Structure 1
Amino acid sequence: MGRYFLGPVSVVLLGLSPWGNGAAAATATTAPPELLQTLERIEAAANDRDLDAIMQFYSQTFSSDTGFDHTLLRQTLEAFWQRYGTLSYDIELLSWEPTSSGGYTIETLTRVQGVQVRPERRLSLSAEVTSRQRLQDGQVASQEILSETSRLVSGSNPPTVDIQLPNTLTPGQSFTFDTVVIEPLQGRSLMGVAVDEGVTAVDFFEPRPVVFDVLTAGGLYKLGTAPNTPDQRWISAVIIREDGLVVETRRVRVEPSP
């Protein structure tokens, strides 16, 4: 199987930093015009697939919670865009607050839709990423991903799945990852696999062949254990049926209890 997992979606647009000065974040309806204009320009550059233009909105000292700097972000974006013949982005501002340095800390929801055509199949992508960014002088200085879900489907009738997976885990915590196929089997066979990946740039560029299991119970039911140290993971369910496939990926944060 080719590598379907969706790490770059979350670094394509917006995401970090704790709330700057401790004040309550304001709603999007009260956002300053210059902040809204910056987001509109980032969205337009992404939809135009203008790599030079979009990178102008990221500081040369850009940092992220998963190790992406300015150079790695550019490389990953370029690789991601090469894979998808069609992509569209929509950025929604959820909240904002000014920082003591004259910038902003914002929270956004980015929706991504795309189509990837391979020799053996056509893949449709949909993803949603909630993230927090610190903007300074009109550029994204740092980024943190708060939540991420993405789905790839292919075929005439890809399986519909219901996934049960915690959004956050504590270090060393045991968890269940259940993926239930909604449609009755009706004599059809299912194959599937669960994949656990890191969320760094190194993980994105590292191919991982997988071996599928025959699923006899109408879904994929797995037990897992979180890493012993704080981390973030992409956990994916890949389900294949004779009339389609689905790859659903969730980001899981591993962090100490408050």
Structure 2
Amino acid sequence: MLTGGSVAQAQTESSNAPPPEVATTVAQIDAAANQRNLDGVMQFFGRNFVHADGLTRSRYEDALQDLWERYPVLTYQTEINTWQQEGAAIVYETTTTITGTQVINGQDFALNSTMRSRQRLENGRIVRQETLSEQSRVTTGENPPTVDMQLPEQVMIGRSFNFDAIVQEPLGTRLLLGSAIEEPINTNQYFTAAPVDLELLSAGGLFKVGRAPALPDSRWISAVIIREDGITLETRRLRVVGRE
């Protein structure tokens, strides 16, 4: 449902081309990000910008800078999914694919991330952003495990949920180590890595049952799978929603 106005007053233009203002903003943000031009990206964000994860404009800029420092090579590609005119503002949803690499102690790590987001554009500036879904994969090694991660996009408060991370290759005589990590998404978690406690996996993956917290929020759910020929870290966003 729309906010800030009645449904009858809002225009939904999902099937039509987005307004030039939106298309230009998205293209120029991608171009600036691909050139690692931080000022070029941030000029499209309003001074009072807020992110649903709790990030202010300054913290959002810090998070972007931190990502670029960890991954010297990154490529951004964004597609516009839908848009709505909401008074003088435009609310639009996008899907952004990010790929990149970093080197740690002489070892290559590859990132592949897909994020679906909703933005509110006012007077040519993004004033609010919300991440609707998110999945990221980091791999390293000659033959990192192929992991099929099964997790719902959202769960109701207090409900249990299944979280499986299944390695697609036959286990054979090889050993697997792994860990499941659950992190609340807040401004501190953007800059702090969670500790990892590895366990020996005898069933070809991780099979866990979690329970959603009592209040609505968002969580990062991750699986770390280690084999002698590679490592895979898969992370998904889980939205915890309230009762209707």
TM bucket normalised to smaller: over 0.9
Match of 1:64 among 34, 39, 51: 51
Distance 1:256 1:146 in 2: 16
CA shift, 1:253, in A, is 0.3
Partner of 1:50: 37
- The CA distance in 2 between the partners of 1:29 and 1:184, in whole Å, is 46
| 1:60 partner SS | strand
In structure 1, stretches of 5+ residues that fail to align are: 1-16
1:195 alignment partner in structure 2 = 181
The counterpart of 2:102, out of the listed 116, 128, 146, is: 116
The alpha-carbon deviation at position 19 of structure 1 amounts to 5.6
Aligned-partner residue type, residue 13 of structure 2? A
Give % identity.
43
CA distance in 1, matches of 2:94, 2:128: 13
Q: Is the 8 A contact 1:19 1:105 kept in 2?
A: no
Whether the 8 Å CA contact 2:11–2:86 is kept in 1: the answer is no
Find the counterpart in structure 1 of residue 236 from structure 2: 250
1:74 matched to 2:94? The reply is no
TM-score (norm 2): 0.94
- 1:240 paired with 2:212, answer no
After TM superposition, list the pairs within 5 Å mapping 1:45-194 onto structure 2. 45-100=32-87, 102-194=88-180
Aligned residue-pair number: 241
Query: What SS does the aligned partner of 1:202 have?
Result: coil
Q: Distance in 2 between matches of 1:148 and 1:109?
A: 10
> Whole-Å Cα distance in 2 between the matches of residues 111 and 157 of structure 1?
23
Distance 1:120 1:82 in 2: 16
Runs of 4+ in 1 over 6 A off after TM superposition: none
2:69 aligned partner, one-letter code: Q
CA distance in 1, matches of 2:4, 2:29: 22
Relative contact order higher in (CA < 8 Å, ≥ 6 apart): 1
Deviation at 1:134, TM superposition (A): 0.3
Is contact 2:223-2:234 (8 Å) kept? yes
